[in-house]
Structure 1
Amino acid sequence: MNIKLLDKNYDVLGELDNFYSLIWHRKYFDVGEFQLTAKPDATLLETKYLYRPDAIETGRVERVESLQDETGATQFVLSGRFLESFLDDRIIIPTYTTTTERQAGPIIADLITRNVISPADTARKITNVRMGMVASTSKVAALQVTYNNLMEYVYELCLQCGCSVGAVYDFDTNQIEFRVWNGKDRTQDQEENSWAVFSDTYDNINQIDYYKDSENYKNFAYIAGEGEGSARIVETLNEVGAGEDRREMYVDARDLRMEDENQNPISEPVYRTILKQRGKEKKASWAVVENVDCEISVYNKSLIYKQDYDLGDISTVQYTGLGITVEKRITECIETWENNALSVNTIFGEDYLNFWKVSTHK
């Protein structure tokens, strides 16, 4: 594999095809990260970006370290996140309000455009960034947001609506294109895409770890907005009945105002809808955690990585030895290159989203 080393202007400093290891950690509901370990080279000290022609992601170097291995030999370690991390450098200003139902995708595109691509304050603009494809997504009723970290908020919406955000660097045009995209459904209940079934029966799983945790699970929220005391407007988000199954949380939404960024008043019914949306955003991080962590053989020809399955796809995982069958999204792919050999560790599960379904084999 060949890696192009780019400077801060995206000009090529050199190429690297001989390194100790590369960990390329791709994520669906968060920005991915990487770590490159190589022989000492002055070029690496000037490197700001790692470009892989075979990957859709581009690395943004944020840390450079000089370390010694067990033999005393010096190594350079470059690490950082992918280009989506540019969103982490911006907060959402001015206030952004929607008062009618809209898809999450265009909202995310608006937020990126207003804070990165074409902000009112031109000093906030990143010159080689544009907005690209915006896939169809689920809808949100209404929302209001201001001063939130742009990256954190965008991924909150992605987590709620099942989509993702990508930043794709075009080496030929020197442009970064942000996209809102969806993984493919590869479960056996659909016919649009080929199926992806990972099973010990098919011998395409080397190792599997299963994890489920409901300790922090919440299903009822009190969202408190404007006002004081008994006059404070409080909305509820109820996704359960009553009794011992009810697990409550409190969301302080005093920052949400009954007016938009242009000081136009917002009616109380719409304001309550905005409060409920804030509750949905916060609740997404307080749901049941269920993950299946698999080491998948990339040399197994029954399912080819990035062709028959990829990051974001909803697939089926079966492990008869544990009695587990789940249909879950691939939320992380950890590529590890060592000695010119690739291994991929794949994590299935939304991390903070409710699990799709589990059937037990007896």
Structure 2
Amino acid sequence: MELEIFTQDKTDQWKFMSEKVFDGFKSLQISLNYYTYSTFELHVGLINEHIRMFIPDTVIYMEGMYFYIDNAIVDDQATAQLKVTGNSLLGKTADRIIMRNYNRSARPEQIVWDHLNNEVVNPSDTKRKIEYLKLSGSPNLGTDTIQYQNSYGTVSEELTTLCTSYDFGIGERATSLGSPGNTLTIFKGKDVSDVVEFSDDYENLTKAGYQNNNYDESTTAIVLGEGEDNARKKVVVGDNQAGLNRKELYVDARDLQKTSNDITLTDAEYNAALVNRGNSKLAERKRILTLTGEVPVSSKLFKLGEDYNLGDTVTVRSELYNLKKQSTITTIKKTYDEKGLYIEPVFGKESPTIYDVLGRS
């Protein structure tokens, strides 16, 4: 696995020079994500050349797209290793906010496209433009229209919420070789679950792990919008749930306003906006039931990139864990080290990390 390293010109932030083609790493893990930007973790030897080269905003070409470094750290000098982490270029959307009152009834994928186009790729204020990102044409994935409102939210967070809630992704591919830049495409994976099945019984899923928990699950969202006390607007999403199946979640949606920037929603439209907010919050708190494991690179049963891809729906099955279900491949983790390449798909949602929980609002 060879990486091409591009260092940033000190006088022009959008000009990058190819530093070298590099394969001298100790290990590399790339997490290709469906609902959000991708990430990497690279371990290299602790030498002066690497300290100089692997700095924030240096760009690395790998897996057919460009990534940027956001952190280089030495945990312990005795290990003689530098740990370098970063994101695909889509991660730069974390540096932009929705600089307007966006209030629209539209398909979720169109809303994502609007945020990318208006805040990142072609903003009216050119100082906000992230020049190494381009955007393909406006998509139509056939999803239902939703009522959506947001002002001053972080772009990356809104993209992830919409993609997760309505099950589509944002693909990234290098726009051209030798010049850092990715083209973004909004897409939905294919359903290949009737053909592709991963199972520890077939041995096309090794080191199988298992999760079955509901400690973070919510099924009923009580969403409160504008107004005060008994006059606050309220909707209940998932009100049909009862008994032990009813797990209530309070959602403060006071930021959603019926009238904003001379736009006034009807009662039905405003309620629809509250329902969308409730659905988005419930999407963060699903029950977890999934298998994890490694897919042997030598397996001839199913090939990544030929039989299945990131975002596709496949079948996962295990007799031991009494599990058979259709799951979306939400992440593909690729690990390169001295022993070779390891592929670890993530089927569906994993348990939230402490950072996920702290990031909830």
The match for 2:87 is: 81
Task: Specify whether residues 66 and 171 from structure 1 end up closer, same or farther in structure 2 by C-alpha distance, changes over 3 A only.
Answer: farther
Cα distance, 1:304 vs structure 2: 1.4
In structure 1, which of residues 105, 110, 114 is the aligned counterpart of residue 114 of structure 2?
Answer: 110
The match for 2:52 is: 45
Equivalent residues of 2:220, 2:246 under 8 A apart:
yes
| Superposed CA offset, 1:33-88 (max 9, x none) | 11112233525633411102xx144221011234667xx56233221122121111
TM-score by length of 2: 0.87
Q: Residue 170 in 1 paired to residue 169 in 2? A: no
The aligned runs of 1:1-362 (5 Å cut-off) are 1-8=1-8, 9-39=15-45, 40=47, 42=49, 45-47=52-54, 48-52=58-62, 55-66=63-74, 72=78, 74-98=80-104, 100=105, 102-133=106-137, 134=139, 136-172=141-177, 174-188=180-194, 195-238=195-238, 240-260=240-260, 262-339=261-338, 341-351=340-350
Equivalent residues of 2:28, 2:336 under 8 A apart:
yes
Secondary structure in 2 aligned to 1:50?
A: strand
| Equivalent residue pairs, number | 340
Identity of aligned residues (%): 24
What is the alpha-carbon distance in structure 2 between the residues aligned to residue 311 and residue 77 of structure 1?
26
Cα distance, 1:116 vs structure 2: 0.7
Cα distance, 1:263 vs structure 2: 1.5
Paired letter, 1:186 = V
Equivalent residues of 1:22, 1:35 under 8 A apart:
yes
Secondary structure in 1 aligned to 2:29?
A: strand
Cα distance, 1:130 vs structure 2: 1.9
Consecutive unaligned residues of structure 2, counting only runs of 5 or more, are 9-14, 353-361
What is the alpha-carbon distance in structure 1 between the residues aligned to residue 142 and residue 19 of structure 2?
40
What is the alpha-carbon distance in structure 1 between the residues aligned to residue 274 and residue 347 of structure 2?
31
Cα distance, 1:154 vs structure 2: 0.7
What is the alpha-carbon distance in structure 1 between the residues aligned to residue 267 and residue 142 of structure 2?
27
TM-score by length of 1: 0.87
Task: Specify whether residues 135 and 16 from structure 1 end up closer, same or farther in structure 2 by C-alpha distance, changes over 3 A only.
Answer: farther
What is the alpha-carbon distance in structure 2 between the residues aligned to residue 238 and residue 136 of structure 1?
25
Cα distance, 1:171 vs structure 2: 3.0
Secondary structure in 2 aligned to 1:155?
A: helix
Task: Specify whether residues 310 and 274 from structure 1 end up closer, same or farther in structure 2 by C-alpha distance, changes over 3 A only.
Answer: same
Task: Specify whether residues 109 and 275 from structure 1 end up closer, same or farther in structure 2 by C-alpha distance, changes over 3 A only.
Answer: same
Paired letter, 2:333 = I
Secondary structure in 2 aligned to 1:286?
A: coil
Paired letter, 2:127 = A
Task: Specify whether residues 137 and 80 from structure 1 end up closer, same or farther in structure 2 by C-alpha distance, changes over 3 A only.
Answer: farther
| Superposed CA offset, 1:198-231 (max 9, x none) | 1233221222111121122222222111111222
Task: Specify whether residues 221 and 352 from structure 1 end up closer, same or farther in structure 2 by C-alpha distance, changes over 3 A only.
Answer: farther
Task: Specify whether residues 244 and 38 from structure 1 end up closer, same or farther in structure 2 by C-alpha distance, changes over 3 A only.
Answer: closer
User: C-alpha root-mean-square deviation of aligned residues, in Å?
Assistant: 2.2
Cα distance, 1:93 vs structure 2: 1.4
What is the alpha-carbon distance in structure 2 between the residues aligned to residue 5 and residue 179 of structure 1?
24
Equivalent residues of 2:66, 2:180 under 8 A apart:
no
Cα distance, 1:135 vs structure 2: 5.3
| Superposed CA offset, 1:220-262 (max 9, x none) | 22211111122221122125343342221111111111124x3
Moved more, 138-147 or 89-98: 138-147
Consecutive unaligned residues of structure 1, counting only runs of 5 or more, are 189-194, 354-362
What is the alpha-carbon distance in structure 2 between the residues aligned to residue 135 and residue 203 of structure 1?
38
Task: Specify whether residues 213 and 140 from structure 1 end up closer, same or farther in structure 2 by C-alpha distance, changes over 3 A only.
Answer: farther
Paired letter, 1:153 = E
Paired letter, 2:28 = L
